[in-house]
Chains A and B, each alone.
Chain A
């Protein structure tokens, strides 16, 4: 199984003997290219065209993050899976509300179902989230009535608002209070964790989109204008609750991550390198853990589930199949 590589150290990424060599200040390390799935770069890294050439032939995406841990962008090699038909149909779906709305609704409904799965798990662990569950359940019934994307996004935002308030009931540590969602910069630890986790999820989904025929620039929920990629943001909605949020609860409640893993700066609060590594360890473990897939009758990793979700979207686009989102079972 191919691996995701995360680089925190400063150094140089080089092409050496048809594979990748990372030259750090103290260490040098070969990364066997056939085993690399995608690369996440957090450190200060230099690289050259020769390196990008081999990365492109091996079809590897590189995601870059800046000093503050914000997503900078992705080196998304030239498309290797080209089907004019899929692109045309994807654009067609985007531009016709009657085709776009049902898929957009299904994505939001699936995301909300997964939020409820997470909350119900904590209710069974005697956390006081019952009223939150009720509120979200009643709000969810309204999704079907939404007339356009903006209305749909507004509903989703309101549901997330209620959900985030429930974070305070789930998290056992008073130092991590959710007050208000803040981004760029995140103003407290909990927001820093949400932002970091979400950007990992966005990039993971993007890496998987690269392996399908879908075009990441054409979203379904998120409008395509202004940003480079948007389809990954859509599909991430489905997985954020069951992957990212669960990791946040686990890390804080098990006291793996504490206040010491954050630093306050004029630019808000951010995870320290150690904190990011703790998060990543949990993230990769989760992504590589498997569940039995009900229809495929085989064990699949969470990472693979993302690809399967994209296949379902692609099939919907090409064949008009009814897309049904992945809902976790516990």
Chain B
């Protein structure tokens, strides 16, 4: 299976979410956090090239200088920093496999914050392991059971999981 960046992101938030997303069971689209995220993606960085498909992944933004490519990922807040970092690292590794060297930038427009991300060797190993685990989760016939964590409170699946 082809793992995309979003699944890597969800993997760090909730394993159940990985399974649901993989099976196209999406969260409530009217959930205010989801609507806000979608809106922010639309209105920010309008002058940049956005939603660039590369193989089976899709980058939010690509910024190109003379000799260097920077991949940007827009997020609402740094609440999910670890997850976002791995999402971006995954993009960098996909590019690296294609022989393209690039660096990453996490963008938090509402917090006026940017974090630089570079792919290191130990992280490449970690990514491989994550992808293996995602494969295992998605090959199950049913999603992992509900496991309460600190992200549940603002999750778009909250009502689906807990009602």
Residues of A within 8 A of B (CB): 2, 81-86, 211, 213, 293, 295-296, 307-309, 311-312, 314-315, 318-320
Contact = CB atoms under 8 A, between A and B. Distances in A.
A318 B25 contact: yes
A318 B142 contact: yes
Query: Interface SS of chain B: helix, strand, loop or mixed?
Result: loop
B82 to A, nearest CB: 27
Contacts of A311: 159-160, 163
Contacts of B23: 83, 85-86, 318
A43 to B, nearest CB: 28
B26 interface: yes
A319 B26 CA distance: 15
28 contacts: A2-B30, A81-B24, A81-B29, A82-B24, A83-B23, A84-B24, A85-B23, A85-B24, A86-B25, A211-B28, A211-B29, A213-B24, A213-B25, A213-B26, A295-B162, A296-B158, A307-B159, A308-B159, A308-B163, A311-B163, A312-B163, A314-B25, A314-B160, A315-B161, A318-B142, A319-B142, A319-B143, A320-B142
Contacts of B142: 318-320
A211 B163 contact: no
B159 A85 contact: no
Please name the 9 residue pairs, one residue from A and one from B, whose CB atoms are nearest each other, closest first. Answer: A308-B163, A83-B24, A85-B23, A311-B160, A83-B25, A311-B163, A319-B142, A213-B25, A296-B162
Contacts of A296: 158-159, 162-163
Interface in B140-163: 142-143, 158-163
